[in-house]
Amino acid sequence: MKKILVFTVAILILGLAVPVPAQGREVTGEWLDLSIGEQDFPAGEPFYILHGWWTAPKIPIPGLVGLLNFELEMDGQLIREDYHFFGADPSEQPTYLYRFWAYNFPDGLTGNHTFTRHYYGPCILSGDEYCSPPNRNDVVEEFTFTTVVHFVPTP
């Protein structure tokens, strides 16, 4: 069972930052992919951050998908998403379930900023041997990733 959970979590991590249609909501500028690590990005240029979870079909957690959550910090402060996208993209076969949060920065940023992504989910996804009923649906922080972005002037 633990191997299945670890595989499921690995599948979830691989798709943490796949852009999806905005469903009538618009993103601003270019996508800043925090999953690629420390990086430079043009200063003062509009951008958006889109991260969260996706689950592959047949992953045995349909009742637990609603427990998946995401938070983003910038320089140690939680920031509020502009919108979130929860659902499936019907254009994909087979259908994947998405839970993404979008953050727009229409004026861009300057200087260096630290972004920390927090992924929360039911205890059962962690593969923790101590996660057993009745605790398996308790929401815990599954993963945390920190990335420094250098917003540099363009020539």
pLDDT tens track for 97-147: 788 999 999 999 999 999 999 998 887 776 666 666 667 678 888 889 999
Main-chain dihedrals φ then ψ at residue 78, nearest 5 degrees: -65, 140
User: Which residues of 9-130 form beta strands (DSSP E)?
Assistant: 30-31, 39-42, 47-55, 69-74, 77-79, 83-88, 97-105, 111-122
Q: Which domain holds residue 51?
A: 2-152
The answer on pLDDT for 60 being more than 90 is: no
Whole-model pTM? 0.76
> What domain count does the chain have?
1
**Local confidence band at 30 (pLDDT 50, 70, 90 cut-offs):** very high
Q: pLDDT digit string (tens) for 78-109? A: 999 999 888 776 676 666 778 899 999 999 99
CATH number of the domain residue 126 falls in: 2.60.40.10
pLDDT of residue 86: 80
